[in-house]
Amino acid sequence: MIGVDIVEIARIEKALKLQGFLTRMFTEAEREYLMERGFPSQTVAGMFCAKEAVAKALGTGLSHGVAICDIEVLHNEDNMPAIHLYHGAAARAEELGLGEIQVSISHEKNYAVAVCLGIKKSGRKKKAEPKPL
């Protein structure tokens, strides 16, 4: 499953001025990550895009029980984005048989973009070795 999203960074800059935007869109762990960095609008936009891309990869968008805070974008020790799913998003990923969600985020001047790849669980059985005749 693939999802992609793009957002104009200026739109996120305006949204950051709205009371409650960060609380509605980001989990506590995401807000802590952003606060440690001073809430750079490019980073906020990239993480927002990643959430949208994941929702699209789930085939629902932000509907059918999938909420924006059910999708968490954190970063590993190498600062690579890592996706954590909760509630409706986790249930949808399970329904689709997804074992892994990968995301790539990029931003340049005016735009941020994210691409998501949902990878199915490996349920293949090991092939039997052919027997000699």
Q: Give the pLDDT confidence of 69-105 residue by residue, as tens digits.
A: 999 999 988 989 999 999 999 999 999 999 999 999 9
pLDDT single digits (tens) 43-65: 999 999 999 999 999 998 888 88
Residue 126 falls inside a structural domain: no
Asked whether residue 133 is assigned to any structural domain, the reply reads no
Q: In the prediction, which pLDDT does 63 show?
A: 80
Contacting residues for 51 by C-beta, under 8 A, at least 6 apart: 25, 68, 71, 73
pLDDT at residue 124 in the model: 58
Domain that residue 116 falls in: 2-120
* 73 domain-assigned: yes
15-38, pLDDT tens digit by residue?
999 999 999 999 999 999 999 999
- Tally the domains of the chain: 1
CATH number at residue 70: 3.90.470.20
pLDDT of residue 119: 93
